[in-house]
Chain A
Amino acid sequence: MPEETRPGATAPAKAVFRAQDLEVTYRSSRGPVKALDRFTTTLREGEFLSVLGPSGCGKSTLLKVASGLLMPSAGVAELDGQRIRGPRKDVGIVFQQATLLPWQTVLDNVMLPVRTLGMDRQQGLRRARELLAVMGLDKFEGHYPHELSGGMQQRVGIARGLIHDPSLLLMDEPFAALDAMTRENMMVELQRIWLEARKSVLFITHSIPEAVFLSSRIIVLSPRPGRIVKEMDIDLPLPRTQETLASPRFGELCAGLRALFSAIPH
Chain B
Amino acid sequence: MEKAKSVGYPLLLLALLLALWVVAVKYWEVPNYVLPPLEGVLAALYRGYVQGDFWGDFGYTLASMSLGYVAGCAAAFVVGVLFAEFRWLERLLYPFVLALQSMPKVALAPLILVWFGFGLESKAIMVALVCFFPMFVNTAVGLKATDPSLVDLMRAFSASRWHILTRIKIPSAAGHIFAALQISIVLGLIGAVVAEFVSSTQGLGYLINAATTTLDTSTMFAALISLAVLGIAGSQLVKLLHRRVVFWDRELASRNLSE
Contacts and interface: CB of A to CB of B under 8 A. Distances in A.
Interface of A: 64, 67-69, 87-89, 91, 93, 95-97, 99, 101-103, 112-113, 116-117, 144-147
A113 B163 CA distance: 12
Given A95-B149, A97-B149, A146-B255, A102 B156 contact: no
A116 B248 contact: no
A103 B174 CA distance: 11
A97 B167 CA distance: 19
Nearest to B251: A146
Given A93-B153, A103-B171, A146-B251, A116 B147 contact: no
Contacts of B155: 69, 87
10 contacts: A87-B156, A93-B153, A96-B149, A99-B150, A101-B150, A101-B167, A101-B171, A113-B157, A116-B160, A146-B251
B158 A89 contact: yes
B168 interface: yes
B222 to A, nearest CB: 44
Given A103-B248, A146-B252, A117 B153 contact: no
A127 to B, nearest CB: 15
Contacts, number: 57
Interface centre among B152, B157, B158, B252 (most CB of A within 10 A): B157
A152 to B, nearest CB: 15
B46 interface: no
Given A88-B158, A145-B248, A146-B248, 4 more contacts: A95-B153, A97-B147, A102-B252, A147-B251
A97 B155 CA distance: 16
B154 A116 contact: yes
A144 B168 contact: no
A116 B171 contact: no
B157 A69 contact: no
A144 B251 contact: yes
Interface in B157-188: 157-160, 163, 167-168, 171, 174
A88 B156 CA distance: 7
B158 A117 contact: yes
Interface residues of B, number: 24
B251 A117 contact: no
B247 interface: yes
Contact of A93 (B147, B156, B249, B251): B156
Contact of A116 (B150, B159, B247): B159
Contacts of A91: 156
Contacts of B255: 146
Given A101-B168, A103-B171, A146-B248, A87 B157 contact: yes
B168 A116 contact: no
Contacts of A87: 155-158
Contact of A99 (B147, B174, B251, B252): B147
Interface string B240-259: 00000011110110010000
Contacts of B171: 101, 103
A57 to B, nearest CB: 19
A208 to B, nearest CB: 25
A74 to B, nearest CB: 22
A65 to B, nearest CB: 12
Contacts of A113: 157
Contacts of B157: 87, 93, 112-113, 116-117
Nearest to A96: B149
A102 B246 CA distance: 10
Interface in B2-26: none
Nearest to B247: A103
Contacts of B160: 116
A102 B149 contact: no
B156 A67 contact: yes
A144 B252 CA distance: 11
Interface string B215-259: 000000000000000000000000000000011110110010000
